[in-house]
């Protein structure tokens, strides 16, 4: 089935940047990219810069995302941030289940699924991350691992929510290491994920869900990765912190 999926490129700034840095980077991106591309562009600054970035993005086509959220709607949960609070800052997307959260904050597939549900409840769209470690890949378990993560991280979502989810395949060994998956490796896992989506949720849904690749995406490898048939965009870490490299990646995505 031929199905047009709008490319989506998101910048995951991680725990980088003060408010002045965030403002400056956002201005450069906004001025260079607004109306320039058919790609959906999402900036995911740290919580502390969301409001400043939202103000800079007013009237532009770039969208705002957050990097995490609480699975709970409100209450006595010191230090946590709820979906509704994000939504009140013009946040549209939220990354859930990033490997750094799975690794350093013990996030399980079940928790990721609850966070995705919490995002939808407040009108946000989750970017659900998954990916295998080097050990898992070398043991030949990549498909088993990402298949389990896919099913577990979407558990309990309604069909009309699953179709809206953005997935991000991020092999852990490629994140921040400069080692990117080859275009063929990425395409192979993306095709596997789409096949698994077809089994779990049907062909229509599988054909509509956008799957980003993430892990050391740079201007010089973006085109090859982003032209694979099942790669619908990128989740960019390090290279999203510089306006010129992030913009170059976006130009390779349409």
Site map 11..40 versus ligand PGA, x via CB under 6 A: -x----------------------------
Per CB under 6 A, the list member of 26, 153, 187, 216 interacting with ligand PGA is 216
By rule CB under 6 A, what count of residues binds ligand PGA? 13
Q: Which stretch binds ligand PGA (CB under 6 A): 23-31, 107-115, 135-143, 213-221?
A: 213-221
Minimum distance of ligand PGA from residue 111's CB (angstroms): 18
Q: Does 237 bind ligand PGA (CB under 6 A)?
A: yes
Chain centroid to Cα 254, Å, comes to 17
**Dihedral angle computed from the Cα positions of residues 82, 114, 164 and 142, in that order, rounded to the nearest 10 degrees:** 130
Q: For 214, which DSSP code?
A: E
Q: What is the DSSP string of 69-115?
A: --SSSSSS-TT---HHHHHTTTEEEEEES-HHHHHHS---HHHHHHH
Per CB under 6 A, the list member of 170, 173, 193, 245 interacting with ligand PGA is 170
Instruction: Count other Cβ atoms within 10 Å, centred on residue 227.
Output: 12
User: For residue 175, how many C-alpha atoms fall within 13 Å in the half-sphere facing its CB?
Assistant: 23
Q: Does 9 bind ligand PGA (CB under 6 A)?
A: no
Per CB under 6 A, the list member of 158, 176, 179, 254 interacting with ligand PGA is 176
Q: Does 238 bind ligand PGA (CB under 6 A)?
A: yes
**Can you say whether the dihedral through the CA atoms of 6, 245, 44, 198 is positive or negative?**
positive
Tell me which residues are annotated as active site. Answer: 98, 170
Q: Please give the residue ranges that form the binding site for ligand PGA (CB under 6 A).
A: 12, 170, 175-176, 214-217, 235-239
């Amino acid at each position: 089935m031929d199905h047009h999926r709008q490319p989506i490129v998101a910048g995951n700034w991680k725990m980088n940047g003060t408010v002045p840095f965030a403002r400056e980077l956002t201005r450069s991106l906004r001025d260079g990219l607004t109306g320039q591309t058919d790609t959906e562009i999402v900036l995911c600054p740290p919580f502390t810069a969301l409001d400043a970035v939202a103000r800079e993005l007013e009237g532009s086509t770039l969208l705002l995302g957050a990097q995490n959220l609480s699975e709970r709607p409100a209450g006595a949960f010191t230090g946590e941030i709820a979906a509704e609070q994000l939504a009140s800052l013009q946040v549209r997307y939220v990354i859930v289940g990033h490997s750094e959260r799975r690794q350093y904050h013990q996030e399980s597939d079940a928790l990721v699924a609850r966070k995705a549900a919490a995002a939808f409840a407040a009108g946000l769209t989750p970017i659900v991350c998954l990916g295998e470690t080097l050990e898992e890949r070398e043991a030949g378990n990549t498909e088993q691992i990402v298949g389990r993560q896919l099913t577990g991280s979407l558990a309990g979502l309604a069909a009309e929510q699953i179709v809206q989810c953005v997935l991000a395949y991020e092999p852990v060994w490629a994140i921040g290491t400069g080692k990117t998956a080859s275009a063929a490796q990425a395409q192979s896992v993306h095709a596997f994920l789409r096949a698994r989506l077809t089994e779990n949720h049907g062909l229509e849904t599988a054909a509509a869900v956008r799957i980003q690749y993430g892990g050391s995406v740079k201007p010089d490898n973006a085109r090859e990765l982003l032209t694979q048939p099942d790669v619908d965009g990128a989740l960019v870490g390090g290279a999203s912190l510089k306006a010129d490299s992030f913009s170059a990646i976006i130009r390779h995505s349409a």
